[in-house]
Structures are given as structure tokens and as C-alpha cells.
Structure 1
Amino acid sequence: MSTTSGAVSPTLETNISPRDPKKAAMSGWIGGALEYYDFALYGLAATLIFPAIFFPSENPTVAIIASLATYAVGYVSRPLGAVVLGAYGDRHGRKHVLVFAMLLMGFATFAVGLLPTYGQVGVLAPVLLVILRLIQGFAVAGELGGASAMIVEHSPDARRGFFSSFSLQGTQVGSILATAVLLPLAAVLPRDQLEAWGWRIPFLLSAVVILAGYLIRRRAQEPPAYLAQTETGKAKQRFPLMEILRTRPGVLVRCVIMTFTNVIGMATLIFGVSYATQKGYGIGFSSSEFLWVTLVANLAAVVTIPLFGALSDRIGRRWLMVTGGIAGGLLAGGYLWAIDQRSLVLVFVCVVLVQGIFFQMWNATFATFFQEQFPMRMRVTGFAVSQNLGLMIASFFPSIFTAIAPPGSANVPLVIGLTTFGICVVAAAATLLSSSTKGKSLQDLEI
């Protein structure tokens, strides 16, 4: 397999640092963990804390819906962030966009910890919360695209999948950290103290993100091939999104559709939690039990992601993504059936199979595969726009599931399972229609 991707001309070699995949992977891992700590922390707080302090209502259902709506707002702003930050990363450097995205995310999350409550300033409190959530969504849109581009371009061709998988592993670790910080506070503090001041502590800890983001990512080096391209002026020829829409609209659409594979997580870790714990469905599991289910799923993913990243380098990414997506989509219905059987042991087994193994076959490899679909001059934009547009659409799947299988309806596991499987089949078809990158160097893909 060739290892000559992005060869640098002799006249530039003396001015450009050599490739350093280990340092790039570590930067992506730590950055992903810190940035997704912020993003996941908000999701937990929107469920556990914010309904009472930002959206008080005589009807608790209204308060919960309003709070969760601000969580969804973060996905609405992600496509805009993908366009702006993707262009910045393609035109001015992967390192610059990664530093900016992390600092912006850290600022927004820290500011949430300083917000006045509804009881202090009235409707201004939720308005400010929505604004900060929009900033969070904007910032996170540039994280994975920039990090995975930097890692892919630093890595030897034979190990692109392995090194790139660490940025995905970092995002899982970030979710675990958010759970590990917030839940002990919720367990130790009385409810009134948690709502008065305790909830602010995890958000104020984001000051660490601001400092760590600057220290870690200022030391990262741009990939040599990107610097060489910048020297020749190729990286700044056009606004990247316009060139993608003109030259690669089919690639963009296929990557958006492939992103729908995230329906597996939407069906299991979002709708599945609601199905298991909400009184209307009558299953009867507690919220704490399913927080442990979610934690176990994330822990299993941390172990399997680099394994599947490495395997994708050996056997190719397309078939691994297709196998993981189809099997995960098929077994998602089995996971919901396990919930319906009220067997917590069976639920743990199924969540490890579905989320910890099969979905990670796709999740560990998609970032590398998406990066390989776009040439260097538009790589960050192509990845960021397709992934975040796909995620914005996918964020509506749990609402659709609730609409087609509301509380009181029959055969919920079958209905949601078949719907999830159908979406995964469509995503798998888009994968098979995409160009194979097996055995190709990045230089071969520069077309």
C-alpha cells in the first residue's frame, strides 16, 4: 500500500515539519473529549436541572419540553458552523479552526454557569441560554471535521483509520466525563442546593477547557501536505462549499445520508431511555438504571473504536460501515424488545452489542471515510457540512419515533425496530454507492 500521500516538494521540506500522527491523534483525542464534555453536559442538565430553574411552569411536561427544545437548538446551528468553520479550516489551517472552535465552546459553556435564573431575571434567562446553546452548536461543528482532517493528513496511508479513530474515541470519553461530574453532584447535594448553585460547578469547570485548548492545540503542527498546498495557493482558490456544490454534489448528498446511521443511537440511547423510563409506556425502569446503561455503552465504545479503526485499514472501510450499520439497525429492535421484557441484564447485553460493537464499526470508520471522499482543499468543509447537516436531520428521529409509537401503542419494539432498520438500509446503500478508498493514498484521492 502506498505511503506517499500528500508528498511535499523538496523546496518546501526545509520549511515544513515532518508528519506526526501520534501528536495529531493525541490533540484530536483530548480536544474531542474536552469539547464533547461541554456539549454532553448541556444535554444532561437540560433533562435533570434546567426545567426547574430556566423554564418554570405549572405543567412539568411543558417545562421539560421547553428545556429539551434548547438542547435541539444546538443541532440547528451546527450546519451554519460547519459552513463557516469548515471554510476557515480549509483556507487558513486545521490548527487555527481547532483552537478557535475549542475556545468558543469553552467560553459558551463557562458562560452558562454564570447565567441568572428565571427567578432572578425572568424570560431573559432562557433567552440567554438559547443564545449560548446556539454558540455551542456552532463551535462543535468545526471540531471533528478539523481534528480528523489533521490526523488523516498527518498519518501514513496504511494507518489512517487507526489514528483517526482516536478523535472519535475522545468524544465518547467526553460524554463519560460529563456524566461522571454531574451525577455525583446530583446524588450528594439536596435538590434545593443542586438547583441553587451545585449545577453551576460542572459548567464553570469549562474554564479548564479554555486553558487546555490553548495549551494543547497551539503546539499542534499543520499537516505538511496542507502547508505545501497553501504555499502553492491551491488551498485558497475558491470558497470551499461553492466548489463542493459545483463539483461534488453527489458526494455531499451521499455523506449526509450515510450520517443517518446515527439513527441507531437515536433509537437506543434517546428513544430507548424514554421508552424504558416514562410512565406512559408502563415499562417501569428508573432513570438511574438507564444512566448506567448509557455509561456502559460509552465505556464499551471507548474500547472498540480503535480496534475497528485499525481493522478498517486492513479490510477497507465501506464493508465495515455497511456491516455495522445493517447489524446495528437490525438489533436495535432487539434492544427495545429487551426493554419490553423488563430484563435489565438483557438490556445491558443488547446495548453492548448494538452500541458498543456494531454501531462502532460504523462510528470508528466514518470520519476517515468521509475525509477520503473530498480533496484536501475542501476536506474540512465537506466533512463538516455533510456530518452536521445529517445530524441536524437525524435529531428529529426521536420525535418521529414518539409520533409513530406513542405511549399506549402496541408493538413498539417492532415498529421502531423496523423503522430504524429501514433507515440504516438506505444509509448502507449510500455507502456502497460511494467510491472505495481501500489501498489508495491521499495523493491518489487528490482529484
Structure 2
Amino acid sequence: MDKRPIGAGSGIPQTSDQTPSTSPKMRRVALASFMGTLIEGYDFIIYGTAAALIFPEIFFPAMGESAGTVAALATFGAAFVARPLGSVFFGHLGDRLGRKNTLVATLLLMGIGTFLMGVLPTAMQIGIAAPVMLVILRVVQGFSVGGEWAGATLFVSEHAPKDKRGFWGMAPQLGATLPNILGSTTFLLTSAVMSQSDFVSYGWRIPFLASGLLVIVGLYLRLKVEETPVFKKEHHRGASRVPFLEAFKKQASAILRGAGAILMVFSLVYFASTYLISYASHTLKLSSSTVLVIGIFGGVAYSLAVPISAVLSDRIGRKKVIGGANIIGAVWSLAIFAVLDVGTVPAFAATSCVTFFIAGLAYGPIGAFLPEQFHTRYRYTATGFSYNLAGVIGGGLGPVIAAILTQSIGGFAFGVYVALLSLVAAGCTFTLRETRNTELDWTEETVLNKHKVVSGH
């Protein structure tokens, strides 16, 4: 049986997917995708930082420190519930109307939701209406992010040459990792130039309001690029009427296994970017400035790992890189709290940096790996739903489960939980097909023709 990727050596004519695209046009495409995920990631991360540092005090003051922290992190998770819904809605638009226009819509919605958070009254001002409105805006954020990542990765991957798709596909991945640096830096600078009382009173709002400027830049870049050639070709054949139903009818197993493959990434990233900040602040009693500086170094480690693994995936394959990182993540998860509980600043810094780096090793190739698994007709929907389903389990539930398990049983229990998710991720990764050098405009007819060529008919 032929084990080569679909279309490879099958006599199928060379397509636009194979045309070298290292031109300024490809760089503009990558930049537009990078900026979009950067903005959406920034908006998402600053919420997580605020939820750990300040939201328990200003939105849940009556619950006490421990319960308030759990409640604040639970609102962080509310966005993850909305993400699969957003992936279905925007995936439908993206598969029927195009990647470009859909990405403009997701960016606008995220920007509006984040800006409104920056002007939201606190519980001291309007009572219980404040946390209710916070949850609503958090759901808006999650809904828009549900459509953003898939569209951004498709936008790059459907423009990129197949032999460098891992490299170009890291652009939206980097856009999603750098917010860990920007978010911590923004809060650090804001808190450094004002007193603690001023920061609690109004300073925390500045990072949310500042996102409006980034949105303007992102919209300008996205409006300047063209629709992907792969989508144009498929749209000419006729768009899917209901992409979500078609995707699950034809590739349900791949969607679920794709979600499984990313579980470790979400678990470690959101553990490090939310729970670790809370743990260091409230349990280890480290200062906010120390926690934020270390968060910056963690973001750097995350961002360094992404290009390393993305480029490596073009050379040795996506499955080896992602699956190997998942296995490393399982081992590290069991050691996290042993290192963290040393209780020193270097131990906390090492925990943060190593956690982010391992997650980045698996995350780098995902921007190419997931889109390569699915048919163009429903690729936006399938990719987005798979990605965001993993987000619900690994990212949405992770910080809350971490808070509950560590308070009731101990840190090692949560480490076992993440280790199990990492092993599931490794298993799912290795059951998916290797996609390096795979065509992205393959169709069912392409598969049929390939089998005919192989069988000699």
C-alpha cells in the first residue's frame, strides 16, 4: 500500500499549493496572520493575568482570596466554552464566504469585547452586575477567538509552498506566543509607574484599552492581502452547504484526534500563564513585579521553541516533533510541583520557562499539521473546531482543576492529570497521518485518481 502523502507522485498536476511563495506577497500574508493572532492572543492573555492578579479583589471581593481566585479563573474558562461555538459559526462563514472577510470579523469582535472590559464597572460600583457583565464579555472574547486561529493558520498554509509550510505556518503561532511577553510587560510597566491603590483603581484597565490601537493595525494589514488561492479554487467548484455537518460526516475521527493532539499544549500554556501566576502571588507570596518579569522570560522561552519545532517539522515530519514533545510534556508534568515547591524565585522561573518551552515545541508545527488533515471544503470549520475543543479541555478546565486539586489534594495530583492528558495527546498525534509535503487543494477526486494510478487502472 502506498504510504506517501496524498498527491505525492500520483501523477496529479502541480498546483498553486506547490508554487514557491517566498515573495513579498507571502511575507505580507504571514504578517497579517501574525498580527491577528498577536492581537487576539494579547487580549486573551491580559485577561488571564488580570484574573490571577486583580480580578478576585475587584470583581469577587465578597468571596475571600481562595474562593475569589477560583471564581476569577472560572470566568477565564468561560471563554473556552464559547470557543467551539465560535469555531462553528466563523468556520461556516470562512468555508462558504472566504478566509479573509471572516478574519476581519473575528478581529473586530475581539477588539470590541476587550475594549469594553477596560471600561467595565467593578463590583464595588454596581454589585453583582459587574461579574455577570465580565463573564458576558469573556464569552464574546472566546467566541471571536474560536474563529481566529483556524482562519489565520489557513490563510498562511493555503498560500505557502508545501515544502516550507511548517516554516510559514509558524507566523500565527508566534502571534499567539508573543502575547505572553506583551501581557506581562504591559502589566509590569503599568504597575511600575503608579501606586498599588491606583493600579487597583484604574491602572489595570490600561492594557485592555490599549488593545484598540493594535486592532487598527491588524485590520489595515488584513484588508491589504488577497484571498487564498486554494480557497478560490475550491469555491469555484462549489462551497459546502453545511461545512460542520459535512466535516463530521467525513472526518469525525480526524477532528477528535486532532483535538487530542493539542491537549498538552493548552494544558501547559494556560497552567503557566494563569495558575502559576496566581500560585506564585498567593502561595509563594512573590511580588507582582517578580511574577510578571518571570512571565516575560517564560514567554520568550515559548516563542523560541515555536520556530525551532516548526522548521524541524519541515525536515523530519510533523508527527515526530509534536508526538515527541507531548511525551516530554508528560514527564515534565510529574516534576512541576516538585520544582515549584522549592519556593524560591529561581525555582519558579525554571518552572515557568521549561513549561512554556515544552508547550512551544508541540505548538510550532500545529499551524501546518491541523489544516493539512482536512478537506478544503470544510477545512476552516474542522480545523477550528478541533483546535478549540482541545482548548475547552486543556485550557478552559485546566486552571480551574489546578486550583481545586492543589488546594484539596496537592500539586502532584494535578501533575498526574496533565501527564495523562499529555499521553493522550501523544497517542492521538501518532494515529494521525503524516502531512509533511501534502497538497492542500486535494479533493475526493484527487484521492480516487491516486488510487487508480497506484492500482494501474
TM over 0.5: yes
Match of 2:248 in 1: 245
Q: Secondary structure at the match of 1:248?
A: helix
Separation in structure 1 between the aligned mates of residue 367 and residue 301 of structure 2, nearest angstrom: 19
Match of 1:91 in 2: 96
Match of 1:264 among 268, 272, 296: 268
Number of aligned residues? 431
Structure 1 residues 4-83: aligned runs within 5 Å: 7=15, 20-57=25-62, 59-83=64-88
Match of 1:423 among 396, 414, 421: 421
Match of 2:391 in 1: 391
Say whether residues 1:306 and 2:307 are aligned partners: yes
The answer (yes or no) to whether the contact 2:94–2:380 under 8 Å persists in 1 is yes
Structure 1 residues 117-266: aligned runs within 5 Å: 117-233=122-238, 236-261=239-264, 262-266=266-270
Match of 2:435 in 1: 437
Segment drifting more, 155-164 vs 301-310: 301-310
Q: Secondary structure at the match of 1:20?
A: helix
Instruction: State the one-letter code of the partner of 2:320.
Output: W
Separation in structure 2 between the aligned mates of residue 104 and residue 81 of structure 1, nearest angstrom: 11
Q: How far has the Cα of 1:147 moved from its partner?
A: 0.5
Stretches (4+) displaced over 6 A: 1-6
Q: How far has the Cα of 1:417 moved from its partner?
A: 3.3
TM-score, normalised to structure 2, is 0.86
Separation in structure 1 between the aligned mates of residue 123 and residue 277 of structure 2, nearest angstrom: 28
Q: How far has the Cα of 1:268 moved from its partner?
A: 4.6
TM-score, normalised to structure 1, is 0.88
Q: How far has the Cα of 1:175 moved from its partner?
A: 2.5
Q: How far has the Cα of 1:436 moved from its partner?
A: 1.5
Q: Secondary structure at the match of 2:113?
A: helix
Deviation by residue 1:142-175 (Cα, 9 ceiling, x = unmatched): 1110000010010000000100111111111123
Say whether residues 1:297 and 2:298 are aligned partners: yes
Match of 1:372 in 2: 372
Show structure 1 runs of 5+ residues with no match: none
Separation in structure 1 between the aligned mates of residue 202 and residue 353 of structure 2, nearest angstrom: 35
Q: How far has the Cα of 1:300 moved from its partner?
A: 1.6
Segment drifting more, 34-43 vs 389-398: 389-398
Change (3 A) 1:5 1:73: farther
Q: How far has the Cα of 1:387 moved from its partner?
A: 1.0
The answer (yes or no) to whether the contact 2:95–2:240 under 8 Å persists in 1 is no
Match of 1:317 in 2: 318
Deviation by residue 1:385-409 (Cα, 9 ceiling, x = unmatched): 11111111222233334444436x5
Segment drifting more, 34-43 vs 49-58: 49-58
Change (3 A) 1:120 1:339: closer
Change (3 A) 1:426 1:365: same
Q: How far has the Cα of 1:304 moved from its partner?
A: 2.6
Separation in structure 2 between the aligned mates of residue 255 and residue 316 of structure 1, nearest angstrom: 16
Aligned residues: CA RMSD: 2.7
Separation in structure 2 between the aligned mates of residue 59 and residue 326 of structure 1, nearest angstrom: 38
Change (3 A) 1:209 1:187: same
The answer (yes or no) to whether the contact 1:44–1:179 under 8 Å persists in 2 is yes
Change (3 A) 1:68 1:402: closer
